[in-house]
Amino acid sequence: MDMHEKVVLITGASRGIGEAAAFAFAEQGAKVVLAARSLEAIEGIAREIGERALAVRCDVARFDAVETAVARAVAAFGRLDVFISNAGVIEPMAQLAEADPEAFGRTIDINTKGVFHGMRAALPVMVKQGGGTIITVSSGAAYNAYPAWSAYCTSKAGALMLTKAAHGEYADRGIRALGLSPGTVATQMQRDIKASGLGPVAQLDWSDHIPPEWPARALVWMCGAEADAYLGQDVMLRDEAIRKKVGLV
């Protein structure tokens, strides 16, 4: 996919899927804005990518921080073509009667409200310039209630509904809204899940998880017309047919 001179903002870009996506888009010629709470981490990644990368400290739970990140992307590169909501957390992993209410609320703030904040900040810019793509990193947890994962499952289900809402409201104004459900990916989150011992995913071996470079490549593919059949819904990377389209098998 030719992303030459396109501007891509990625949240949660300090590691895992977000970091891999930053390199994947840069390799295709895009200008990349890395957003994360850890400025030191994303500054290091931005230096590796070079002058076409910008690092911006951003807590997606705060709308003003996301709005500032979008404004800095436009100020630096003149436009915003792709916004990827990748930042996410899974804690608290606990039964409902034992889950910490503040931690539960924080997960909603990041995983659901963070997606809304991204849409709210990016949509006015994209509509004004005539179009853009908004991708949310989703999960199978958006569709299934896994034991001890009530916060994560609820937050991801809400994020999926935001994708559907964005598509329904803005498709006729040039906005491509869709999600990526990557399956289980070899990231720090999977190490945390394994350490918890809670739920079926915790029982998987590390070799069962796909590398973060796979969803990164899928995200680039999703910016092209071949993914238009999936607008308003999640692209399921577990699907072998999808993997073939992306070039992963």
The residues carrying an active-site annotation are: 152
Angle between helices 16-27 and 39-49 (to 10 degrees): 20
Q: Which amino acid is at 242?
A: I
Longest dimension (CA), the chain: 50
Q: Is the peptide bond before 92 cis (omega within 30 degrees of 0)?
A: yes
